[in-house]
Amino acid sequence: MKVFSGIKRLLFGRRLANAQMGETLLPKRIALPVFASDALSSVAYAPDEILITLSLAGMAGFMFSWEIGLAVGVVVAVVVMSYRQTVHAYPSGGGDYEVAKVNLGRYAGLTVASSLLVDYMLTVAVSVSAGVINAKAMLPFLEGHEAWTAVAVIVFLTIVNLRGVRESGGAFAIPTYVFMGSMLAMIGIGLFRIFVLGQELMSETADLIVVREDGAEDVMGWALVAILARAFSSGCAALTGVEAISNGVPAFKPPKSRNASRVLAMLGLLAITMLLGIIALANLTKVHLIDELTGTHYIDALGNTIHSAATTVTGQLARVVFMDWFQPGFYIVVTATMLILFLAANTAFNGFPSLASILAKDGYLPRQLHTRGDRLAYSNGIVALSLAAIALVLIFNASVTALIQLYVVGVFISFTLGQIGMVKHWTRELKVESEPEKRKKMRRSRMINIVGATLTGIVLVIVLISKFTHGAYLAVVAMGVFFLLMLAISNHYRAVEEEVALTPDSDRALPSRVRGVVLVQQVNLPTVKAIAFARATRPTTLTAVTVAIDDDAVEEILDQWEAEDFGIPLKVIASPYREITGPFIKYVAKLRTENPRDVVSVYIPEFVVGHWWEQLLHNQTALLIRTRLHFMQGVMVTSVPYQLASSDARKQRARKASAPRPPR
Amino acid sequence: MKVFSGIKRLLFGRRLANAQMGETLLPKRIALPVFASDALSSVAYAPDEILITLSLAGMAGFMFSWEIGLAVGVVVAVVVMSYRQTVHAYPSGGGDYEVAKVNLGRYAGLTVASSLLVDYMLTVAVSVSAGVINAKAMLPFLEGHEAWTAVAVIVFLTIVNLRGVRESGGAFAIPTYVFMGSMLAMIGIGLFRIFVLGQELMSETADLIVVREDGAEDVMGWALVAILARAFSSGCAALTGVEAISNGVPAFKPPKSRNASRVLAMLGLLAITMLLGIIALANLTKVHLIDELTGTHYIDALGNTIHSAATTVTGQLARVVFMDWFQPGFYIVVTATMLILFLAANTAFNGFPSLASILAKDGYLPRQLHTRGDRLAYSNGIVALSLAAIALVLIFNASVTALIQLYVVGVFISFTLGQIGMVKHWTRELKVESEPEKRKKMRRSRMINIVGATLTGIVLVIVLISKFTHGAYLAVVAMGVFFLLMLAISNHYRAVEEEVALTPDSDRALPSRVRGVVLVQQVNLPTVKAIAFARATRPTTLTAVTVAIDDDAVEEILDQWEAEDFGIPLKVIASPYREITGPFIKYVAKLRTENPRDVVSVYIPEFVVGHWWEQLLHNQTALLIRTRLHFMQGVMVTSVPYQLASSDARKQRARKASAPRPPR
């Protein structure tokens, strides 16, 4: 442990408390990689998904990759511009959830929250799956073991996060900058070799002809439109992660909003450049992908049919650009791509509990999730996310193409509601603002958000229509379940809050006296301790009570009682059915009835043991009695713990389990 | 519910408390059926198992059924005589477990207990499976669905026992007497028709020739000896249940021991008569059985091979004896056989928790099982037994032949150890007895027990050798697991008891003062109640403590606190990591350190909710804090329950769950 925490400290710096948060505020050069890993990593698989979907139309489909790429680029640009407005208006980091909740009400907020929760699960599944497919370009033996490799990666991330890792600018900056640098270099060198040096670069799949599942003709007309719509929808996966910055504004160095806004702009520029660059290069080097799921396949120059898909676009481009003159370049690109995808998954592991904490604060999830310091609650969130992601990976066999059908819906639901909320926000602000200069700026912002809302709304409709039957319905169902669950929790909390609220008429009367009752099952040290503690509280009356299960045992207890001379009476209750709980409860109930204005204080000696299985051997009766007494008005139950020697080990574990974890 | 309890009362009489137990003492005519169902029911499948095992030797095997039957009869006679001694010497009902524990020590007692626990599970599985096979003689459509029919019967028995059914002489007497009467009548009429009327009665399998699995020759020599040994071992299943009377002595009318001893003698006589009668009739009517498991099969007169087994011996005999002149006779025999087998299984459902209760009293099982009145503990025992029996039935596909391989080992382990214990008992008694008349009687008893111990010991060795590899090893492994588990539990209880024992040097000092601490998370009715109760106990100091998770919330709490004017100070603890448990625990620990001679009393307001899932939404922090505080010396934790309106329903359920159940 010492060694591990030493390494951790070396890697991530010392733990920081709330008060020290100021120190960690991020300069732009660190903020960019921290928040960009999620958004940029999606550029690594978006082109693949566009080409794969286009392959459904046969060779004719690939001609449209340019148009699809441009369309996605436009959406990215508009969304980035829209979010720049959000960042200025809501610098608190609540993101779309806050925007929707504040401007559109509870249900809109819940809808955004549901889609974000589902999206976090899908982010892990999609990013890790995409990372594994990229790794295959380098490590071909992974072929056929994709799902289990992805599961192993998720388990690794889970363990790392359970042990407690801090997101650190440094740890994120290096692979992210390497990814950006090597990607841009690959695109630049590729274009340079083709256009300036005039070399003919051909990808490994350039000579392969793509044929539709049944060998049918290339599609045209409405069927083609449908395929183009789906390709566009899948390409919109490139937008996932853009919203991350709007959640991260508080972490920026001041001026926070302005810096965040600038990083957003940089991110948008980078994403569009990389997306279009990759698509351009893929077009020039004639990258052809197939969709293994629907059965499109290759026919090679000799007329052989090939059913297994080639590696990713990135892998093919890196190979054709670097392999013949600078092999390390290939490995750098592929490794960096893989790493940034795993980093993106890791982001979800931090974002999920964070969102859960906000939702818990608003009463939509169990309240204890809000006190994120408790390692226990945090761990539950991580494990839940991990299990959901593993299930998704196994069900969809780590196929990015299959998973992506579920993915984009949630993102665009939250985009659209967020933007609509922003429009409402500006309209409301405009009502109270009179300064012409500011009004002008607000009008401009509102216009941007109107365009953003309209465009993302249109994309949402396209995504829903083109993907619903291909899997998006599953995401919608999952969101519905989360929505209803959180609504039920919220309604419950509201009802309880109302029930327990203090009103002027609330009963504040003090009970007049305390009747102490000690439950005695044996005369031993725990009992002596309970009696001593009970006497220390000086109740009005104090009675020891034992339930007669067994004549011999009662005899023994009475003898010991007399010998010890505790100075309080021992009452023996008959138990015709050889049970303890019932007669004891009845005794307490009688005491209550006879003294309605008094409070009864029941003292129960309890063993504190070292292992959970020892727990099964002790305190079961105490537990049952405590539970039953809880339902009785005017009774309080005091456990007087007696620590057995074996409890020391467990004490350590309990302390560790609820130890604080540093804030993000 | 009212209707159900009305019917129950009608069937089983009103509930009886301990004090009323005297009323239920059984006269011999009722005691016989109550205790005989288990022992006599085994006569229903023992002949089958003898014949099935003999079929392994081909047609030659059946010639030995007489000898095997006689050998089993001798064992029954000796065991019954031996138990008559036990009944006189140990009238308390502890049976072999008590005899072994008292005379041979802890480990012998535990060995007997382990074998009895395993035997109860097997009793249910074997009896129900045999009952279902018998039912097949009448309901041929059960063919192929034996396992699931058996499971359904077990589930039915489980439900009946969970709802709480009282074993009643009347309910047992009728089917048992019908079984005895119809069996004896069948044997008598059969022999009468053959010997007096000179009719040639031939069973349905008389003309079928049994061939060994590979069609090989009938076995002879050592191989035949091995098969005869196994047939004898399986036949010894007839002895299961004989020990039941030694556990039931307290239920007899006085003179208890003498009456029990007489019933034992009757039982032995009946068992031997029925066993030999069935084997004789089976021989005369040429009943041929095959072992489906090892592949022995029939060849009929036309030379066709038949692989599926015929019905039971009882079924075949009842058919040949009654079918041609009095069809109801057939149905009565088969129905009574089926019923008595199910009754035998039901006996285990009562015996298992009963034994568990005795073991719990001796500290070998969790203590709470002793207080049998608690429905919860009793239910756990029934469900555990039921699940084990269902697993056995499903694993062995309800095959009595397969299950019986596991069965007899445990019975004879407990027989042998019980008898050895009795020998030791008499030897010890003889040391202190001087009256010649009594010494003579004791010597005689000891001789009987020596013979019993020797014979059952020899049978145990035969059973172990002939069955070990056929499945008995599984039973031995299961017994070993129970043995080690109970030993571990016992060692744990002993260590704890030693640790908490009161000694003259034990610290009995009273803490000097009480420091009260109320945990405040919100200012609402539960908090007000907790404060009121805490003030009623008049601690030396009383402080309300809240942990600052969230600045706004603290602000609100402070405002409300001031407005309410509770008259006690509210302390706000900083929580840098946004967690409640750690800072609160630290505060209490500090209070302890500063006042080492005082006791700290922590008051925690708790919500009492209506559903288990509501529990997930409340009290989690309270639970965590309580657990952590339990490990702290000198701290007592008081929960002040606040009953929400929704808790009413749950209160009813809790009351029902721990309601007493009548004694056996």
The CATH code of the domain that includes A626 is 3.40.50.620
- Give the residue from B250, B154, B130, B178 showing the smallest Cα distance to B33: B178
The arithmetic mean of pLDDT across residues A351-361, rounded, is 83
Q: Is residue B19 part of a domain?
A: no
pLDDT in tens, A497-545: 888 888 877 777 778 788 999 999 888 888 988 998 888 888 889 999 9
Straight-line distance from the first to the last Cα atom of chain B, in angstroms, rounded to the nearest whole number:
22
Return the higher-pLDDT residue of A100 and B19.
Answer: A100
Same-domain status, A292 and A353: yes
Ramachandran bin of B397, using left for φ above 0, alpha for ψ from -120 to 50, beta for the remaining angles: left
Is the confidence at residue A113, as pLDDT, over 80?
A: yes
Same-domain status, A45 and A157: yes
Distance CA A167, CA A164 (A): 10
CA-nearest residue of chain B to A565? Answer: B508
Is the confidence at residue A3, as pLDDT, over 50?
A: no
Out of A502, A575, A630, whose CB is closest to B528?
A502
Same-domain status, B431 and B526: no
If pLDDT is split at 50, 70 and 90, which confidence band does A178 have? very high
Q: What is the pLDDT of residue B378?
A: 67
Same-domain status, A30 and A151: yes
CA-nearest residue of chain A to B526? Answer: A500
Question: Which residues from chain B sit within 8 angstroms of residue A644, using beta carbons?
Answer: 496, 499-500
Same-domain status, B446 and B578: no
Q: Which domain holds residue A407?
A: 25-491
pLDDT in tens, B375-404: 555 677 888 899 999 999 999 988 988 898
Q: Is residue A459 part of a domain?
A: yes
Question: Which residues from chain B sit within 8 angstroms of residue A603, using beta carbons?
Answer: 636
Smallest CA–CA distance, residue A598 to chain B, in Å, is 9
CA-only gyration radius of chain A, Å: 32
Is the confidence at residue A495, as pLDDT, over 80?
A: yes
pLDDT in tens, A369-428: 776 555 555 677 888 899 999 999 999 988 988 898 898 899 999 999 999 999 999 999
The arithmetic mean of pLDDT across residues A457-461, rounded, is 93
Q: What is the pLDDT of residue B293?
A: 81
Question: Which residues from chain B sit within 8 angstroms of residue A506, using beta carbons?
Answer: 525, 528
Is the confidence at residue A335, as pLDDT, over 60?
A: yes
Q: What is the pLDDT of residue B269?
A: 93
With an 8 Å Cβ cutoff, are B644 and A616 in contact?
A: no
Q: What is the pLDDT of residue A654?
A: 56
Same-domain status, B205 and B314: yes
Question: Which residues from chain B sit within 8 angstroms of residue A662, using beta carbons?
Answer: 577
Q: Per-residue DSSP letters for B34-89?
A: HHHHHHHHGGGTHHHHHHHHHGGGGGGGGGGHHHHHHHHHHHHHHHHHHHHHHHHH
With an 8 Å Cβ cutoff, are A510 and B577 in contact?
A: no
Is the confidence at residue A2, as pLDDT, over 80?
A: no
If pLDDT is split at 50, 70 and 90, which confidence band does A485 have? very high
Q: How many domains does chain B have?
A: 2
Mean pLDDT highest for which of A343-357, A499-513, A610-624, B454-468?
B454-468
Out of A528, A535, A639, whose CB is closest to B502?
A528
Is the confidence at residue A23, as pLDDT, over 70?
A: no
Angle between helices A65-89 and A256-284 (to 10 degrees): 180
Same-domain status, B313 and B189: yes
Same-domain status, A429 and A520: no
- At residue A55, the 3 state secondary structure works out as helix
CATH of the domain at A36: 1.20.1740.10
Distance CA A422, CA A652 (A): 50
CA-nearest residue of chain A to B586? Answer: A655
Looking up tokens 């949630």 gives A410
Q: What is the pLDDT of residue A20?
A: 40
Q: Is residue B282 part of a domain?
A: yes
With an 8 Å Cβ cutoff, are A536 and B511 in contact?
A: yes
Domain endpoint, select from A432, A459, A491 = A491
Same-domain status, B531 and B397: no
Is the confidence at residue A602, as pLDDT, over 90?
A: yes
With an 8 Å Cβ cutoff, are B502 and A525 in contact?
A: yes
Q: Is residue B336 part of a domain?
A: yes
With an 8 Å Cβ cutoff, are B636 and A635 in contact?
A: no
Distance of CA B307 to the CA centre of its chain: 36
The arithmetic mean of pLDDT across residues A325-351, rounded, is 89
CB pairs under 8 A between A and B: 261
If pLDDT is split at 50, 70 and 90, which confidence band does A460 have? very high
Which residues on adjacent β-strands are paired with residue A641?
A: A606
Return the higher-pLDDT residue of A183 and B163.
Answer: A183
Report yes or no: B264 and B31 within 8 Å, Cβ to Cβ: no
pLDDT in tens, A266-286: 999 999 999 999 999 999 999
Q: Is residue B538 part of a domain?
A: yes
Question: Which residues from chain A sit within 8 angstroms of residue B372, using beta carbons?
Answer: 578-579
Q: Is residue B18 part of a domain?
A: no
| pLDDT-flagged residues of chain B (< 50) | 1-23, 660-664
Q: What is the pLDDT of residue B20?
A: 40
Q: Is residue A584 part of a domain?
A: yes
Out of A493, A633, A637, whose CB is closest to B639?
A637
With an 8 Å Cβ cutoff, are B502 and A523 in contact?
A: yes
Q: Is residue B3 part of a domain?
A: no
Same-domain status, B217 and B289: yes
Top residue of B15, B166, B364, B529 to mutate, by most chain A CBs within 10 Å, is B529
Burial label for B8, CB within 10 Å (0-12, 13-18, 19+), is middle
ipTM of the complex model: 0.72
CA-nearest residue of chain B to A378? Answer: B579
With an 8 Å Cβ cutoff, are B582 and A644 in contact?
A: no
Is the confidence at residue A661, as pLDDT, over 50?
A: no
Same-domain status, A258 and A130: yes
Q: What is the pLDDT of residue A469?
A: 86
In sequence order, the 6+-apart residues with CB closer than 8 A to the CB of A195 are none
Domain endpoint, select from A457, A491, A525 = A491
Out of B489, B535, B659, whose CB is closest to A617?
B489
Out of A509, A524, A635, whose CB is closest to B501?
A524
Question: Which residues from chain B sit within 8 angstroms of residue A535, using beta carbons?
Answer: 510
Same-domain status, A481 and A521: no
pLDDT in tens, B566-587: 888 899 998 877 778 888 999 9
Looking up tokens 């060779």 gives A59
